[in-house]
Structure 1
Amino acid sequence: MDDQVRTRRTDTSGTCPEPPSDAVKRLLPWLVAVAYFMESLDTTILNTAVPVIAKAMDVPPLSMKAVLASYTLSLAIFIPISGWMADRFGTRRVFAGAIGLFTLASLLAGLSQNMYMLIACRILQGCGGAMMVPVGRLTLVRTFDRTEFIRILSLVTIPGWIGPVIGPTVGGFMVAHLHWSFIFFVNVPIGILGLILVARYLPDYREEKRPPDIKGFLLFGAGVALMSYVLEIFGEHILTPSQTIALLAVSVALILAYGYHSLRTRWPLLELGLFRIRTFRISVSGSFFTRLGVGGVPFLLPLLYQIPLGFTPMQSGLLIMPQAIGGILAKLALSRILDRLGYRNMLTSNTIILGALLMLFATVGPYTPVWLIVLQASLYGAFSSLQYTTMNSMAYADMDQHKTSSAGSIASTAQELSISFGIAAAGLITAFFIPEHAPSREKAMMGFGLHEAFIVLGIMTILSTFIFAGLKREDGERVVHRSQVRMNRGYR
């Protein structure tokens, strides 16, 4: 890989006109860190504002799940083409376009007058976010030697830790003292600063041109978008049962058609042949089903804190903060834990603990002491952080170096898909337990729905343990000592 990177810098084909200067190498990590921060902040700052936005737009709080899920679904659809875009049009142009699109979509989201406009803007944000972080990481790989890369990546991912810490609190403060629109407007000055830095300091790398997998993109994108739509509206009686089944069948057929297509084309959108590698297959599939259980928690917890418990958005944000702090502290001990337990024991035991902690949120009620809520949130954040980073790093245990980019695209796409589906599942399960003829579905959450949803999602999480049981005791030994820097952004 090092030889390939050096060849790209000096090749006469012009992948990079000249080696980056020392000034560029000093500022480039901070530029990419802006992208990490914007994306990680945007995935958490909205959560505490969900009840307030729902009230302002006169929609039920559970309907706001589409606003959250649309962003992660957009990420899942567009992440696979980020590498091709960078190789074809250059890292500088694509990165600048991504920041510009994300910033513009944030501005438009803050000006939205109804939920449908907000969903459309969130989809645009996802398009930009899908290009920002992968292309930024690719630029770092092509700029720094491997001896420097580990240190640089550790520096760059720190904002990815900070975003979940301050996001819920900042969102709660803005909703309480300003207006919910400011949770989107805050991205505008950060984005403008990023554009200025990109124009001055981002190297412009290119690769040999390869044809885009347009057919694969259409099949895959249409399949997952249709499936997500059906999951979003399921239970809202918009479609008849026969129509729902028909649309699900079409979405599954499109995804299967993409799988068939990807195995028969030279340049597939996602290289599904990598699933033949046992550790990669177990890591990605186990991660997918685990996140189906926990992906909706950032959506449900603010509802739990603000509707049944009666906390303000600001107080709700403060109660969510311990999750992120617990996650950061847990990362510091991950290498020692993995060295002692190994990947198989770590994932099988941690998944059960995580599911049990998730079910414990069903015990939180109006008379639960705040210190106990904080303790539960801290423990849940710590164990979920251990789970995410371990699952992510396991994907690279037996992966050839030249396949890591393709593996990363698949893992990132599956992660965003599972989060999107997890949010839809959380809303669907909650709605299922609310009496259909309740006088107020919002008030009904106080006695029904939310608590039952945490129990069901916890059970779903524990069931994914059976997938990780397929690991062998010695799996992952080669990555034990570098797991927290390999996929360090795994908190989400």
Structure 2
Amino acid sequence: MASRFAPTQDIPIKRIMPWLVAVALFMEQLDATIVNTAAPTMAAALEVEPLSLKGVLTSYTLALAVFIPISGWMADRFGTKRIFVLAIALFTAGSLLCGLAVNVPMLVASRILQGIGGAMMTPVGRLALVRTFPRSEMITAMNYVIIPALIGPLIGPFVGGLIVHWLPWRMIFFINLPFGLAGLWLARRYMPDYRQENTPPLDRLGFILFGTGIALLSYVLEVLGDHQLGVTSVLPLGVLACTLLGAYVWHAMRIKNPLLTLNLFRVRTFRVSVVGGTVTRLGIGGMPFLLPLLYQIGLGFKPWQAGLLTMPQAAAAIGMKILSKPLLARYGHRRVLIVNTLLLGCLITVFTLVGPATPIWAILLISLTQGFISALQFTSINSLVYADISDADASKASSIASTGQQLSLSFGVALGSVVAAWFLQGVPQTDHPQLISALHHAFLVLGVVTMLSTLCFAALRGNDGNNVSNHTSRAKALADNNREQPVRVGA
């Protein structure tokens, strides 16, 4: 690994880089939350059913999942600075084209371009952080990044609601342009240029197998939810997708430098954090898409009012980012993840009780609580990923973790919409009572899936992640304290 920065410049880099990565995350989070809130209005303008617009969301996260695996290789080969600048440029260009889209296919294609930029932007920024900060400072560094980035989800739903209420929906994409230009300036000026001297060649066959399999599997979930094809037509496509992914696993275990280094799953903390985090996000991933449908179509709130109902969640997430470090230091990753995952799943199922008679204060309280629990969950998972990973494998670990995260979020939207569409069974989505009932069933399924991820986190040991959380078990602390006490001779 080489860097263009001298060691004497380490302190300025540590001060500036978290804010640089935060700008990138802010753009992504602002864009995602604005689009979620605006989905019903966009569907009406484009003359499609609201649930059918999930392709606009899944195409973005799918592009992230397909192209993230090569982001680590590109950063190692061409340097973090060049790839980060290119990523912001692609994301900004995709935002411009989204705002100019005249139909759903053009909008989906533009979202894919955004996703390609995002696929390189966040993982490369995270990789630069891992290579700049020691493991003992990772939670602090990530919190400095995440807290500014959470301003996007905090203001995004409300701003998105105001935009589609007073302005054309296209402005929700044009708002990214000034942030993209600011990010380009910051990246060119301050991003460190980490790279590896002897980067192996790209695993092209692995990229084709993995990318094609994931894209086909996502398509199967989308058409299944829309009932565009019968089960007899969808099943062969699903089998083909699984075959391609299985072929990738077979291929990756037999070459020296695969696209995704599956051998890293032998590291327990990495394996548990990625697998458990994927299942957790699969459960919670559909919520940002389904909640605006519940609030706007089911309960009749205006877009900006629906945005206000989701703001407490982001505000609570910012507060929990401050509290997460002492909580992990006090209780450790294993205990926090087991208890917190069960709470998170239960909170998702609580949304099955939200209906026309639910008081506003109750909805706000549920949203606030979910924000606290979700933030603690993802801080715990993300910090555990790199606990036992060497700097030499950091880019490989980042690629796998980011790919799993985006896949689970994409499939979470698909899962939620499939369940909701299944219970609608051809009933028009303008039938508000039926839509509310279908969404309640989707929340129940997502909550149960989230709680199942507890089984993954139970595989952790009590001392796993202690080098990240600085947690010391009570028994060990007492033993250390006894050893430090002076020996008294006589009475």
TM-score by length of 2: 0.89
SS in 2 for 1:449: helix
Structure 1 pair 212–313 and aligned structure 2 pair: CA distance change class (3 A): same
Unaligned residue ranges in structure 2 (runs of 5+) = 472-491
Could you tell me which residue of structure 1 aligns to residue 102 of structure 2? 113
Tell which deviates more after alignment, 32-41 or 58-67: 32-41
How much has 1:93 moved relative to structure 2? 2.7
How much has 1:140 moved relative to structure 2? 4.8
Structure 1 pair 223–108 and aligned structure 2 pair: CA distance change class (3 A): same
Query: In the aligned structure 2, how far is the partner of 1:22 from the partner of 1:475?
Result: 29
Let me know the Cα RMSD of the aligned residues.
2.6
How much has 1:17 moved relative to structure 2? 9.8
Instruction: State whether structure 2 residue 208 is matched by structure 1 residue 218.
Output: yes
How much has 1:132 moved relative to structure 2? 1.4
| 1:307–1:442 Cα contact (<8 Å) kept | no
How much has 1:346 moved relative to structure 2? 2.0
Q: Deviation per CA, 1:179-231: give whole Å up to 9, x if none.
A: 21111001112212322344444444443232111111111111111001100
Tell which deviates more after alignment, 418-427 or 406-415: 406-415
Q: Deviation per CA, 1:368-418: give whole Å up to 9, x if none.
A: 111110001111111111112212223333333433332222111101100
Structure 1 pair 367–102 and aligned structure 2 pair: CA distance change class (3 A): same
| 1:282–1:470 Cα contact (<8 Å) kept | yes
| 2:143–2:321 Cα contact (<8 Å) kept | no
Equivalent residue pairs, number? 471
Q: Deviation per CA, 1:117-174: give whole Å up to 9, x if none.
A: 1111111101001111222344455667889887665433332221111111111111
| 1:220–1:258 Cα contact (<8 Å) kept | yes
Could you tell me which residue of structure 2 aligns to residue 477 of structure 1? 466
What is the correspondence of 1:50-449 to structure 2 with a 5 Å cutoff?
50-140=39-129, 154-208=143-197, 209-436=199-426, 438=427, 440-449=429-438
Could you tell me which residue of structure 1 aligns to residue 483 of structure 2? none
| 2:139–2:469 Cα contact (<8 Å) kept | no
Could you tell me which residue of structure 1 aligns to residue 478 of structure 2? none
How much has 1:73 moved relative to structure 2? 1.2
Query: In the aligned structure 2, how far is the partner of 1:148 from the partner of 1:450?
Result: 41
| 2:135–2:468 Cα contact (<8 Å) kept | no
The sequence identity of aligned pairs, in percent, is: 53
Structure 1 pair 449–35 and aligned structure 2 pair: CA distance change class (3 A): same
What is the correspondence of 1:447-466 to structure 2 with a 5 Å cutoff?
447-466=436-455
Query: In the aligned structure 2, how far is the partner of 1:408 from the partner of 1:346?
Result: 23
| 1:435–1:444 Cα contact (<8 Å) kept | no
| 2:5–2:193 Cα contact (<8 Å) kept | yes
Query: In the aligned structure 1, how far is the partner of 2:125 from the partner of 2:336?
Result: 31
SS in 1 for 2:150: helix
Letter in 2 for 1:215: L
How much has 1:274 moved relative to structure 2? 1.1
SS in 2 for 1:46: helix
| 1:434–1:444 Cα contact (<8 Å) kept | no
Tell which deviates more after alignment, 271-280 or 303-312: 271-280
Letter in 2 for 1:157: I
Structure 1 pair 34–397 and aligned structure 2 pair: CA distance change class (3 A): closer
Structure 1 pair 318–265 and aligned structure 2 pair: CA distance change class (3 A): same
Structure 1 pair 287–139 and aligned structure 2 pair: CA distance change class (3 A): closer
Query: In the aligned structure 2, how far is the partner of 1:253 from the partner of 1:184?
Result: 37
